[in-house]
Amino acid sequence: MITRDELTAELRRTGVVAVIRMNEAADLVTVARALAKGGVRFVEITMTVPDAIEVIRDAVQMLGDDVLIGAGTVLDGHTAERAMDAGAAFVVGPCVVPEVIAACRARDRSVVPGALTPTEILQAWNAGADVVKVFPGRVATPGYFTDLRGPFPHIPLMPTGNVDLATTPEYIRAGAIAVGVGKALVDPDAVRAGDMARISSAARAFRLAVDDARGTKS
């Protein structure tokens, strides 16, 4: 299992997390492979997916090390433990839950709690977050990120929500280490049509947007 430090370094390098909601592990695996082909290795499966723990378990077994599967919308320590038992490489939440952070730190697993206000961001970081998800993105605009970098240059931040190809470079230039992207990356119409080439193309486009904003190359 990848360590916390290794995962955070890889997230900094690639800069994109795909947030996807699918009921079947086989469908998720097909999409995850298409994302990885386009350079996006991080896939977050939310706990709002039916039988999410089993979906994570099956996806991890089928994908191996090619894709880093995480559990999203984790609200309590017990769920975090179950997700890690299923093989989740990282755990994401919409808010600061100390018991979730503690459970992940105890097992050297990366944890990305959600926060919005400066107070919540600092609480998440002091509790042991590896990265703080700034959520919701419709409120936490790129301009908001720029303001946050003043007092918190040392805290790795990642927006989720309101992230598309237009806002991605704005967030990166404002100081985000990565972006969490849902439908703008994994288009439900493309999934229903089985158009995995379109998914791979979108993944490449987001990676390019991140690299261009950083002035680097993949």
Question: Is 170 among the catalytic positions?
Answer: no
- Beta-carbon contacts of 37 under 8 Å, excluding residues fewer than 6 positions away, are 200, 203
Distances (CA, A) of 184 to 13, 17, 122, 167, 201: 21, 12, 29, 11, 12
Measure the CA–CA gap between 121 and 77, rounded to whole angstroms: 19
Measure the CA–CA gap between 114 and 91, rounded to whole angstroms: 11
- Among the listed residues 133, 170, 183, 217, the single catalytic one is 133
Report the sign of the C-alpha dihedral through residues 80, 83, 87, 92, in that order.
negative
Peptide bond into 136 cis (omega under 30): yes
Question: Is 44 among the catalytic positions?
Answer: yes
Distance of alpha carbon 82 from its chain centroid, rounded?
18
- Among the listed residues 6, 24, 44, 120, the single catalytic one is 44
Residues that are catalytic: 44, 133
